[in-house]
A and B are shown apart, each in its own frame.
Chain A
Amino acid sequence: MNLDEYKYKDLIHRCFRCGYCKFPTHWDDVTNCPSYARFRMESYSNGGRLWLIYAWLTGEIPWSEHLTQILYTCTSCKSCVEKCPLSFNEDIVNMTVAAKAAMVEMGRLPNLVKKFFQNVQLYGNPYGIDAQKRSDWMNGMPVESYGGQEYLYYVGCEGAYDTRAQKAARATAQLLIDGGVSFGVLGNEELCDGNEVDMMGEEALLENLATRNIQQFSDLGVKNIITLSPHAYNVFKNKYPEFGGHFNVYHSTQIFADLVKAGRLSLPDKSGARITFHDPCFLGRWNDEYTAPRKVIKAVKGADFIEMDRSKKGALCCGGGGGNFYTDFLGGSEESPARIRVREARDAKADILAVACPNCLTMLEDAAKAEGLDDQLKVMDIAEIFCQV
């Protein structure tokens, strides 16, 4: 790879490294870039990364394992985009993704990243678990296979395999049933959506996954998709059209908001609870959906809804994006973004930290345990606040 082949060759050197990209909406702190928050060295800030990428592409510095690790600590949370004052700000996160793609092309990647890709290729999920176990999450539930219902409920890898996220997947399915939504699932035929693969720069694997998913969805006549994960929501909505896949895509909270409005859900009573909400990056910053999850939470009876200091466009990422929920390059420290985030929820005096993403759910619940907050702060998917299955 050299600079001439790099997609952003005419832009990447224009980063001044002025530091705006580190800030949240209200300038509260310089730690809104999750990898910079974790390591606090300039090399891990977005500006530092872009300068390193440019130096690598121009031959000023050599490839190294540490360089790849710095790149793969980027969660693609897009916080940097929000505050960058320059005209090309929309592309600054894509510049890192494109550099990851260049490293993929060279085949020189951190082992955990390689393993992630291999697992997705071999098993259809990053965990390397048998595809025949993909439908285990719905054991005992009256969930139908997809066969022409109004919606396909796409669960995704985390919801299907991660034992904690499975509970969110089940609660979501139950709420859809309770709300009278016509839906079906793919069960063991479901395949990784490819959002993380995309953010990690494996373009060929993304194309493979997207093509296979689109084929399957089309063969089944799928027109409308409900996703558990904002990551799947993002890739289906924004990337699949590039591969010919045009579907009406909804995040589960958007459907719940409609159900609440229509009076089709029974509202839970959580008298005295103080609920805050952690915006998932791929619902918020990537897709500008801040309203639907809040509408659903605010429908909970007897509870106070409170915002954390950093919210909506300025929300701190949980640190799980870009495959980091698997590689854990940002873990192992009090300054891991997820641990910072649960401390913020504690500081807001919340007793329920509501999430709308299975990635965030597992990251933040683990963080609450690590912080010793699990007794006082419940991390719950929004669907779980309504029903637990």
Chain B
Amino acid sequence: MSSILNALMDIVGEDYASDRYEELFTYSKDLGTSEPQWPEYVVAPKRVEEVQKIVYLANKEKVAIVPLGGGLTLAGLALPLKGGIIIDMKRMDQIIEVNEQARYIVVEGGISHGAITAYLHKQHPHLMHSEPGAPPAATVAGNIAIHGQGDLAHPYGFNTDMINGLEVVLPTGEIARFGSCAVGSGWYTMHPLPDLGFFLGWNGTTGIITKVSLRLFPYKKIREMDVFSVIDEELVPEILYELSHLGLSEDLITTSAAIPPMMNRIHNTSIIIAGDYEEEIEFKRHMIFDVTLAKYIHSGVGGIGAVSMERARPTISKSADWKKGGGFEYVGSIMPVSSYPECYRRGAEISEKHDIPYTVLGRVIGCCHAMMFSWFYAFNRADPETVRHAREALHETDEMVMEINGTIWKPAVFGQKLMMDRMDRTTLQLMKKVKDLLDPNGIMNPGNWEVK
């Protein structure tokens, strides 16, 4: 047994550290098209002190460490590109505090979003957090490490805009806190202290997020999804703009997909509304359909697709399984809402070229300040040819995003390079300085956001 494995076992216990082939295999792959990247060790700490000791060990041994949450980025962002130790953070899953009055929850970074939702439903049924548009096994720290978004994105923005405090184990092993918790006065705000935003969206390359204070929001008793459909994609931006001006919805998401046929070439905007009273819901429906969208209905270019549907939690969609092969990956990009038509058309072309039924989705972030637009590419894990097609489609989509002035969301290494090639040189060098300062041994998830 290697000295590193021995040391890891001393830190976390024998059961939670491994260098066995089966564990290394499992952690060498994620759900997307990335080639396997093999770690040398896997470790699953329970306490922040254990994380700290693992980081000290990694620095001493000059071995890479890669923190892993739910492992659901699809883009290979928690695959060990340069070997080393995978730190599976999911044992750090405790709820530490809920402050009802100040509407926040403090959790350990490895907790799943599903568990938070379940806890709030049971213990604080009038509060909710933003669960990302991902399976419920997605973790809080993993999601903010990639600037995730989800429920309530329309009124409140990215999930990283909904944070009140952080605890991070730095790449050199010290533990640092950010926000009001840093001055010992609770976990209720990230402001007004000087901005040290070195951790959100960095894919775990600048530290390991161990505690997070998330903002909570009112959870209304009634919640429904209404759908408005148009054929002309050019109408989508103005419809979203008008709905965001109205400001009555919790989420605005437009989708279009080749399959099923009723969705093909049709753009369905899901409008999530909520209220504590039926009258409130009625009023919102009235304002949305009878007032704001009435002109599209009366002119025959749009119609009500559905009203009062149950708002289902995110699940594996049928489109992910088109190839019946347990594989799909998508490119997400942050775009102006006005880009929807071009995003849709170009995405459909790429899909057709690679014989993948197209599926696209645009989620409004903030008050139409941006949109997360995504292109889904399913593949059959057992058929290398479909994997190749999906990978090529992803790369072509990354390039297309750059071409139309978008920014790639949670880019894989290929997309990161495209972004860094175009990035302002001063910004790029600042990224490098920050990284070198925080991580002098270059051990944190190396290969990601790596400035040469």
Say which residue of A23, A43, A55 sits within 8 Å of B136 (CB atoms): A23
C-alpha gap A40/B137 in the complex (Å): 13
For residue B380, CB closer than 8 A to chain A, the reply is yes
Q: Which of A33-73 contact B (CB under 8 A)?
A: 38-43, 48, 51-52, 55, 60-62, 64, 66-67, 70
Residue of A nearest to B320 (CB): A16
Q: Can you name 18 A-B pairs with beta carbons within 8 Å? A: A14-B324, A16-B321, A16-B327, A19-B70, A19-B72, A20-B137, A26-B122, A40-B88, A41-B16, A41-B23, A41-B26, A42-B27, A51-B26, A51-B29, A52-B25, A52-B26, A85-B315, A333-B15
| A40 B16 Cβ-Cβ under 8 A | yes
For residue B237, CB closer than 8 A to chain A, the reply is no
| B316 A13 Cβ-Cβ under 8 A | no
For residue A112, CB closer than 8 A to chain B, the reply is no
Say which residue of B88, B91, B118 sits within 8 Å of A27 (CB atoms): B118
C-alpha gap A86/B26 in the complex (Å): 21
Q: Which of A66-120 contact B (CB under 8 A)?
A: 66-67, 70, 85-87
Per-position 1/0 for A316-349, Cβ under 8 A of B: 0000000000000000010100000000000000
Please give the distance in Å from B360's CB to the nearest CB on chain A: 20
For residue B277, CB closer than 8 A to chain A, the reply is no
| B25 A18 Cβ-Cβ under 8 A | no
Per-position 1/0 for B302-331, Cβ under 8 A of A: 000000000000011000110011111000
Contact A29-B115, Cβ < 8 Å, known A16-B31, A22-B137, A42-B71: yes
Residues of A within 8 A of B26 (CB): 41-43, 48, 51-52
Residues of B within 8 A of A52 (CB): 22, 25-26
Please give the distance in Å from A334's CB to the nearest CB on chain B: 10
Q: Which of A13, A19, A61, A67 has the most CB of B within 10 A?
A: A19
Per-position 1/0 for B107-148, Cβ under 8 A of A: 000001011011101100000000000011100000000000
Residues of A within 8 A of B321 (CB): 14, 16, 86-87
Residue of A nearest to B324 (CB): A14
Say which residue of B22, B44, B93, B135 sits within 8 Å of A18 (CB atoms): B135
C-alpha gap A30/B380 in the complex (Å): 27
For residue B382, CB closer than 8 A to chain A, the reply is yes
Say which residue of B15, B72, B117, B326 sits within 8 Å of A14 (CB atoms): B326
| B137 A30 Cβ-Cβ under 8 A | yes
Which residues of B approach A to under 8 Å, CB–CB?
Answer: 15-16, 18, 20-23, 25-27, 29, 31, 42, 44, 70-72, 88, 90-91, 93, 112, 114-115, 117-119, 121-122, 135-137, 315-316, 320-321, 324-328, 380-382
For residue A28, CB closer than 8 A to chain B, the reply is yes
| A14 B325 Cβ-Cβ under 8 A | yes
For residue A274, CB closer than 8 A to chain B, the reply is no
| A40 B44 Cβ-Cβ under 8 A | yes
C-alpha gap A13/B380 in the complex (Å): 8
Say which residue of A30, A85, A87 sits within 8 Å of B93 (CB atoms): A30
Q: Which of A26, A27, A41 has the most CB of B within 10 A?
A: A41
Please give the distance in Å from A292's CB to the nearest CB on chain B: 27
**A20-B135, A30-B115, A85-B315 known, 19 other contacts, Cβ within 8 Å:** A13-B326, A15-B326, A16-B31, A16-B321, A18-B137, A22-B137, A26-B121, A26-B122, A27-B115, A29-B93, A41-B88, A48-B26, A51-B26, A64-B20, A64-B22, A66-B21, A66-B22, A86-B316, A335-B15
| A20 B316 Cβ-Cβ under 8 A | yes
C-alpha gap A257/B325 in the complex (Å): 46
| A41 B18 Cβ-Cβ under 8 A | yes
Please give the distance in Å from B95's CB to the nearest CB on chain A: 11
